[in-house]
Amino acid sequence: MNEWIYVALFMIVGAIIPIGAIVAGFIFGPKKPNPIKQSTYECGIEPVGDVWVQFKAQYYIFALVFLVFDVEAVFLFPWAVKLGQLGLYAVVEGIVFISILIVGLVYTWRKGMLEWS
């Protein structure tokens, strides 16, 4: 448990240092806002339209494909740790598991979902 106290302290101090730097910038910097300065940067012209619009659906598909492989890591890490003790049988099991994932990747690929159109 002691180790996680250390990690928690690290996260707290790791957040305090950048907060301190930003607050220092806030204190020492000038504060002279005006409407033109506050407007979003669009190469010097007036901003046109809304920013939070529909985005390219391709990003969503990549995120889904990523999720499949990211979740798989949860299963593969314990497998990798104990691989030395488990012998050939576990290796074959792992290869079957990874092959199923690759079939999924190939399916996505065949469907043309990995192409950036």
Partner 1 sequence: MNFWTDPLKVAAEWLEGILTGWGMDAIFAHVLVVFLGVLLLITILMVLDIFLVWIERKVVSRFQDRIGPNRVGPYGLIQPFADIIKLIIKEDTTPDGADKVVYNLAPILSMMSVLIVWAVVPIAPVILGTDLNVGVLFLIAAGAIGTLSIIMAGWSSNNKFALIGGFRQVAMMVAFEIPMLTMLLIPTIFAGSMNMNAIIQAQGSIWYFFLSPLGTLIFLIAVIAELGRAPFDLAEGESELVAGYNTEYSGMKFGMFYAGELLHAMTFGGIWGILFFGGYRFFGLEQVSPFLAVLIFLAKALIGYWVIMWVKYTMMRIRIDQMLAFNWMFLTPLSFVLLMVTALANALLAGTSIWVYGIGMFASNIILGWVALEIVRSYSRKEREKLEGPRKVAEAHH
For residue 105, give the nearest of 64, 73, 77 by alpha carbon: 64
3-state SS, residue 104: helix
Q: Which of 1, 45, 54, 55 binds partner 1 (CB under 8 A)?
A: 55
Q: Is 90 exposed, middle or buried (0-12, 13-18, 19+ CB in 10 A)?
A: middle
Return the residues of window 96-115 that contact partner 1 according to CB under 8 A: 98-99, 101-102, 105, 109, 114-115
Total residues contacting partner 1 by CB under 8 A comes to 66
Q: Which of 45, 52, 57, 110 binds partner 1 (CB under 8 A)?
A: 52
Return the residues of window 15-44 that contact partner 1 according to CB under 8 A: 15, 17-19, 21-22, 24-26, 28-33, 35, 37-43
Query: Hey, CA dihedral for 37, 41, 46, 52, is it positive or negative?
Result: negative
Shortest spacing between CB 114 and partner 1, in angstroms: 5
